[in-house]
Amino acid sequence: MRTNPALMGAAALALQSATYTSPSFTFAPSTSPQGWGWRNVIPNELAFDFGSNDLIVAWQPTIALDRRTHFGFRTGFGVARGLARTGDSEADDSYFTVGLDWSRLAQGKAVSSWGVTPAYFHTFNSEAVTRQNSLGFDVRLALLKNRFRIGLCARDVNDVGDTWFVLFGISDVPGAVYWLTR
């Protein structure tokens, strides 16, 4: 029966998350062991934009500037309409993003950090060639030891009214995969 190993993995993930401290530099901030190769391949975050059903996968190498301030390089792919694509003729607005992330750890129990990421967005939509590239941003709160994230984002600062979205993300995906598969 797989119940006991699954419970042990969930308990290990919870304990590792509760005691995790970010190293001075890490390519993949995660509770999984440094030597586990998949740690650097599996995206650090899976996020969902429930308004337009986008799925976002992101990686984020991070440097700790001090105990509470972190700086990172965030890159990701946004799949327009996620896994539930409809058969309409609407253009595909999937995109690539890259940005510089700044975050500050908080002292609270529920809110664990907050931050901002100015970012470059490249939309793969060939019908809007003149509007494929834009500058946007991401302002966010991380919850419960930085395992969940709520972000207010915009893909274009010149057209925030039409390009803003709210993200709900799950961080430390490599840690969850590692500890729940042991």
Buried b (16+ CB within 10 A) or exposed e, 106-123: beeeeebbebbbebebeb
CA distances from 90 to 70, 80, 83, 123 (A): 39, 10, 15, 14
Q: Quick one: pLDDT at residue 5?
A: 62
Please give the model's pTM, rounded to 2 decimal places. Answer: 0.79
Q: Quick one: pLDDT at residue 29?
A: 77
Residue 139, token pair as written in the block? 């302002």
Inter-residue contact 58 to 47 (CB < 8 Å)? yes
Alpha carbon 15 to its chain centroid, in Å, reads 21
Number of domains in the chain: 1
* pLDDT(33) > 70: yes
Q: How confident is the model at residue 25 (pLDDT cuts 50, 70, 90)?
A: low
Q: How confident is the model at residue 7 (pLDDT cuts 50, 70, 90)?
A: low
| Nearest CA-CA partner of 118 in 142, 134, 141 | 134
Structural domain for 60, as ranges: 3-180
Residue 153, token pair as written in the block? 């984002």
Higher-pLDDT residue of 83, 121? 121
The pLDDT > 90 percentage for the chain reads 36
Higher-pLDDT residue of 75, 27? 75
**Residue 43 sits in a domain of what CATH number?**
2.40.160
Average pLDDT of span 47-57: 86
Q: How confident is the model at residue 6 (pLDDT cuts 50, 70, 90)?
A: low
| Nearest CA-CA partner of 57 in 43, 69, 71, 70 | 43
Helix intervals (H) in 42-149: none
